[in-house]
Chains A and B, each alone.
Chain A
Amino acid sequence: MFGFLVPVIIGLPLFGFLFTALVGRRLGKRAHLVPVGAVGIAWLIGMWVVFNALTGAQPFGEGGFATRLYSWIPAGAFHVDVGFLVDNLTACLLIVVLTIGFLVHVYSIGYMSHDPGYWRFFAYLNLFMVSMLLLVLADSFLVLFVAWELVGLSSYLLIGFWKHKPSAALAAKKAFIVNRVGDVGFALGIMAIFVDTGTLNIQDSITRLTAEGAALPIPIWVVALLVFAGAMGKSAQFPLHVWLPDAMEGPTPVSALIHAATMVNAGVYLVARTNPIFAAGGDAIVVVAAIGIFTAILAASIAMTQTDIKRVLAYSTLSQLGYMFASLGVGAFTAAIFHLMTHGFFKGLLFLGSGSVIHAVHDEQDMRRMGGLASKIPHTYRTMLIGSIAIAGIPPLAGFFSKDEILGEAFKNGFQWVWLIGIVVAVMTAFYMFRLIGLTFWGESRVDPAVEPNIHESPSVMMTPLWLLAIPSILLGLVLSWPGPPLGNGTGLLAGWLEPVFQHGHELLGRAEPAFQLFGIDGGLLLVSIVVAVLGMVAAWRLFGVSLSGLQWRPNPERVRALTARVPFLYRASLNKWWFDDLNHLIFIVIGGRVGAFAWWFDRRVVDDTVNDIAATTVDAGKELRRVQTGRVQNYALGIALGLIVMAGSFLVLAAR
């Protein structure tokens, strides 16, 4: 039965995409029915599959359930099947992708209702669902790569959805090309895996790569780094992070679904999926930790000064993804997936909430022209507050548990430097989130007076998904990590689910899971996590104000100005995003343009002119030689005579020898 159901999960949105692409234009305002319905049914089937997988029902068991669709590429020894694998890791991802995917579809019914490209939007969203589901279900590296590129395509289409906006077209192209940079690494990694193991089936090749004493033409750390390059592109890790903030040019539901909750997690998923390769790859895994934690602090530093509400969230996403990679890098695979799941929900919530804010103030995204919105859009305010508390790491909301687990594992696994930077990032996170809330919802209104009277709460089709996302943003952390009954037995629910997937990696790293000590090291780390989160939050309150019942502080702009004046360089660096866009402009547009111009000049003046010169020389030679043809018999006779003398002479010389 599951051999049929699993492909159907992908098939439903595929049908929705094809149907809407072909006839959606004629459906007008009803264009959403088929795509939303398809994803809704896919969610139901998906949850049934997930339930069976996580409870270890037959045919899933411990190792998961694999099903093969057809033989895709038969090229000698290079043989690739299209097949799917559902194990507990895939199941966890399915929960995130399908749930948030479905809620974003519903939300878009309201958000995009006035857009002339209504049907096109839903067609693209369905295409994205197909790609993302294929990505988490694929059981072969090459099929995963197909999905990898297809999510890139749907991301390109959705970022560039508003085709008339030049900035959107630019951002779409940038996203695709920057992703391709990472993909080159991933593609080479896949080739290396084939050369090393002779198969591209994920499970088989990992087994062979990490087998004791395997003779590998390409060392495993090289494979790990190449695969990680792909992950860096898709999950926007430094230095390939530059595409994600620009991707905010797309409609906000896209930012929520693709650029916060699902697609950008693909890199984390990939590294988690291939965790034994990294575990066996020596210091390659430290590179993952370093890149991750560096991205986390870099992006957090930028998020602190941005004024565009979506850009703050975009840099926050980068930062949180950095946490996830840091977690993978210190060998805390479960914590990374934990944070992936909680972050997916609360960041999806925050993005959809920001969409509701933007909607309310008539497409204004600059927080300097917001303020005091709490009373005018109360549902949006409350849900976004929940999301902010969750991401800031205040217990008992979801983000606290997953972030604390990452930091705690980093500390206990001997990566104290990762822990230390992570703690600083945690302060910054709480700070920029409450700066966002303060600027948007509290204090005086700075909204354009023309818009002010028209501010309205979004329709219920948009608010329902927000409240539905708020529930896991509050509870998911506790539910997934609660060690005691009724959910866990010793370890948390999630740790139990993922143990079979990460067992091999943990063994290779030689990590034993020490018992949790509430009144020992774990309790201490926990306390530090809480303290720094509160610190960041209160700092933001002091500067940007707070307006909770019983707690009313006014914003303090003078203080902000004084503070930024004290660290002018850091402030400018943060505001200008550490000048990465300028650097890329210099390298790729200025220098790249010169290289292209030179190559073309070379093509014409050196390569082609050589050809033309040969032709011209032939013509010139003909012109010169034509003079020999004088038409005078005397000249010809002279020529004949000279020729005879030369021939006879040479004959005599040769004969004489």
Chain B
Amino acid sequence: MPGILTVTTFTPLLGALIVAAAPTRYARALALAASLATWVISLLLVIGFDPHAPAARPFQLVEAINWIPVFGIQYKVGVDGLSLILVVLTTTLTWISILASFSPIKERIKEYMVSFLVLEVGMIGVFVALDTFLFYIFWEIVLVPMYLIIGIWGGANRIYATIKFVLYTLVGSLLMLVAILTTAFAYQSAHGGVWQGAFDFEKLHGFGFDPTLQLFAFLAFFLAFAIKVPMFPFHTWLPDAHVQAPTAGSVILAAILLKLGAYGLIRFAVPLFPGAAHTFAPAIIVLSLIAIIYGAIVALVQPDLKKLVAYSSVSHMGFVTLGIFVFNVQGMDGAILQMVNHGLITGALFLLVGVIYERTHDRTIAKMGGLAGVLPVWAVALGFFCFASGGLPGLSGFVGEFLVLVGAFQFSPWVAAIATVCMILAAAYLLWMYQRIIFGELSGFLQGLGHHLVDMTPTEVLTLAPLAALTVVFGLFPGLVLDLVGGSVANVLTDAARQAAIVVPPAAAALAIALPILYVVGRLAWVAWIDLSGRGTGSAETPVPTEAAS
């Protein structure tokens, strides 16, 4: 099936054009049709893919066309198991998100649907691009529709959130562009000035770049991806963006956009610069551990349902980065599984938050209570995905997390021990939230809503059912994913093993460790002085809820 990848990538674009041209009243149906068509085609990809292809042929369904021949830039796409599973995740979540937008989005429907379909083009493109320049183009395409979705259809503080999201991501991606060009120049000069292949991932990943270049280029790539993941301390755009984004925007943001960063780390940052990756691995592992524990602790005290889920994302994505940088099969397998599971489970959690928000126009946990009685189906669904998110064995979240932990344990038992503490914290923030909104008597605020408080509609059930089914299936048969990505994992680890850690001067390393710590301590002292002496205006403080009893 030649060209099928291009067809998959650009079917949503065709859909977007049709939606734009057709009358507004058809926008919903047409957008759903286009996303469903893309989904079906993407499922065909799975059939056309051979998971047991020889290692020499890692990428399948490859299409390559010269695009800017002067610089050797190609339109080159192809998939391995990793890309494939993420493409299918994207196409699945996109139609679910479009369906979930039918009722909440009431203004500028046509523009909204066009944005969503263009967004899908960008996301699929990122996962299939095998040319670094093409990758960058798709990477930036994603930003535009998301900027509009948050900025136009978002909440009260949407402008602040969307500008923060775009500018933050741009800082990283522009540095990445510099690194892409640098690697291309390095490749070209090493090949006697011939540009052919300078942007071709399949050529670049076997090419051992100069150590110094590796260190800086890795940092640039890493920053771009770390912001997107987002890793501590680059995560603060995420709660703002999630809280302001419309429900479907949050779903896609959590389920797919965060995975772009993790995908970038696995696909580009590690294979292109293995030496630098090993050098920075300890630091990245420390940041991942901080993200896992700190994200969970901050989630514990969130008064807003969406912010709680957002911070839980920070914690869960910490497992992904941890799994990648311990450089063993279990860690990498677990990281990829965790990416898929986080997409399914957190996507579903945002859908569920959207369901209650549409009825109450509020997300404050303190105002809820006793919803088990009036929204039984919703309560069961929320319970299911809370336990899934908390890593209940039998559901998919567990396998990914446990594999990452096994991987981490082989790296260092202490790293695994710290990360495993998250099992307690995740149970704490999820069950405490669940207790407060589901158990007890119906709260006064909810009683005031009266008949608006109806249980989930069939459409809403339809959006959640596939996610719940996949959560169970991948929990019982994680082999479905692991078999598919086995080749990719082996290739990445082979690339990673090509080179040992690049040794950096101890003074530079000491400086790199000391400066951030000094900064944090200094800033902490300064801010504490301002806040405690009451000098500052202080940011918009929300009182931290205190639990009445244990």
Contacts and interface: CB of A to CB of B under 8 A. Distances in A.
The answer to whether A and B come from one shared complex is yes
Interface of A: 71-78, 142, 145-146, 148-150, 153, 156, 160, 163-164, 166, 168-170, 172-174, 176-177, 180-181, 183-184, 187-188, 191-192, 194-195, 218, 581, 584-585, 588-589, 592-593, 595-597, 599-611, 615
At the interface, is chain A mostly helix, strand, loop or mixed? Answer: helix
B486 to A, nearest CB: 8
Given A184-B421, A606-B523, A75 B333 contact: yes
A514 to B, nearest CB: 41
Contact of B432 (A75, A156, A173, A605): A173
A225 B19 CA distance: 63
B31 to A, nearest CB: 33
Contacts of B432: 173
B190 interface: no
Given A180-B424, A600-B302, 7 more contacts: A148-B393, A164-B373, A164-B440, A188-B413, A188-B420, A191-B409, A194-B409
Query: Could you say which interface size class chain B belongs to?
Result: 35 or more
A72 B539 contact: no
Contact of A73 (B294, B399, B410, B423): B399
Contact of B439 (A142, A150, A160, A604): A160
Interface stretch (B117-125, B450-458, B475-483, B499-507): B475-483
Contacts of B476: 72
A191 B406 contact: yes
B294 A599 contact: yes
Contact of A585 (B164, B413, B550): B550
A170 B527 contact: no
Contacts of A183: 423
A15 B470 CA distance: 20
B281 to A, nearest CB: 19
B182 interface: no
A596 B479 contact: no
Interface in B131-170: 164, 167-168
Contacts of B483: 74
A75 B300 CA distance: 32
B451 to A, nearest CB: 21
B515 to A, nearest CB: 13
24 contacts: A72-B476, A72-B479, A73-B403, A145-B393, A153-B392, A160-B439, A176-B427, A177-B424, A180-B423, A180-B427, A181-B424, A188-B409, A188-B416, A191-B405, A192-B413, A195-B413, A589-B549, A589-B550, A596-B301, A597-B544, A603-B294, A604-B539, A606-B527, A608-B236
Interface string B222-258: 0000000000110111000000000000000000000
Nearest to B432: A173
Contacts of A150: 392-394
Contact of A169 (B394, B439, B489): B439
Contact of A74 (B402, B417, B479): B479
Contacts of B523: 606, 610
Contacts of B423: 180, 183-184, 187
Contacts of B406: 75, 78, 191, 194
A177 B431 contact: yes
B431 A176 contact: yes
Contacts of B479: 71-74
A177 B439 contact: no
Given A169-B440, A188-B413, A188-B417, A584 B550 contact: yes
Contacts of A146: 393-394, 398
Given A177-B424, A192-B409, A153 B550 contact: no
Contacts of B399: 73
A615 B440 contact: no
Nearest to B232: A607
B297 interface: yes
Contacts of A76: 328-330, 333, 489
Chain A CB count within 10 A is highest, among B328, B417, B439, for: B439
A604 B441 CA distance: 34
B402 A72 contact: no
Chain B CB count within 10 A is highest, among A584, A601, A605, for: A605
B403 A605 contact: no
A243 to B, nearest CB: 11
Contacts of B236: 603, 607-608, 611
Contact of A615 (B167, B334, B477, B531): B167
A173 B435 contact: yes
Contacts of B520: 606
A170 B549 contact: yes
